[in-house]
Amino acid sequence: MGAFFMSMAVAYVTYADPEGLDDEKEPALAAWAGAGISGRAVRWDDPEADWSVFDLVVVRSAWDYVDRRAEFLAWARRVESVTRLANPAAVLERNTDKTYLRDLPVPIIPTWWVAPGRAADLPGLGEYVVKPAISAGARDTIRTTDRDKAAEHAARLAAEGRTAMVQPYLDMVEAEGETSLLYFGGRLSHAVRRNPMLAGGTAAPDADNARAELRDPAPDQVALAERVLAEFPGLLYARVDLVRLPDGSPALIEVELTEPYLFLRYAPGAADALARAVLEHAS
């Protein structure tokens, strides 16, 4: 059985990472090796890569896709034509545009959408968060109490051909934090409390994912996360980001199914749980 596992070749899909932000690559690959998986890190845009030699291609830290989304999705479809891709190309296409939130039958943060070519007619809110529907790491996201500034930012995004999302800033995230639930192979692995990315009105970089602590999710949070995941079949990995609304009920911020940071070093055994899910997914 071990010899069979060692013949299983799995790609860990990454990007050109000059700053070394992906601190999960080595622990993940070590856990894969311990499970009998022959894993190798490969850039998604490596022109020399032969994806057909892998039994499974796992998207992990393709963190530069935002400015090259069409190219990234075309790559995903090509890979899926020659081998198995996790998560599937159709999931990546849906998940990389946050307008998917409009279609989910679950509570989300109240959101006003400003489509390209539409005016930014915003409601009166105490504090605004404005961001593009296609983005990552709070990029091009602002937090402001100025309605005109919020409208101007939304209008600028729309003028650039991007859909803008306008939401109220929820003060309770500064005390409660955001809860991220991590699932591997459809099973809850662990959860963390993440510090708010817009604390102080500034957008934190991807590296600030490291500012978190292990958390036991409440039953209502687990129930909501599993309702969300029921809408996305065939997943290897998922991160469900939740917050509580002013009435105390949980709501979805977003579900990360493309290249989420998985907080592997926060939970003993998390990297091994991912490795087991990879084995199951590839078999």
Model confidence pLDDT, tens digit, residues 149-166: 999 999 999 998 999 999
Spatial CA neighbour of 130 closest among 107, 113, 108? 113
Which residue shows structure tokens 């998986």? 37
Amino acid occupying residue 40: R
Q: How confident is the model at residue 196 (pLDDT cuts 50, 70, 90)?
A: low
CA angle 236, 237, 238 (to 5 degrees): 135
Give the pLDDT score at 124: 86
- pLDDT for the residue 120: 79
Q: What is the mean pLDDT of residues 164-172?
A: 88
Distance CA 131, CA 114 (A): 10
Q: Is 20 exposed, middle or buried (0-12, 13-18, 19+ CB in 10 A)?
A: exposed
Q: Which of 113-117, 119-123, 161-165, 200-204 has the lowest mean pLDDT?
A: 200-204
What is the side-by-side order of every strand in the sheet holding 250-256? Answer: 212-214, 187-194, 178-184, 237-244, 250-256
Per 3-state DSSP, what percentage of the chain is helix, strand, and coil (rounded to 5)? Answer: 35, 25, 40
pLDDT at 254 over 80: yes
As a residue count, the chain comes to: 283
Higher pLDDT, 209 or 153: 153
* Average confidence score pLDDT of the chain: 90
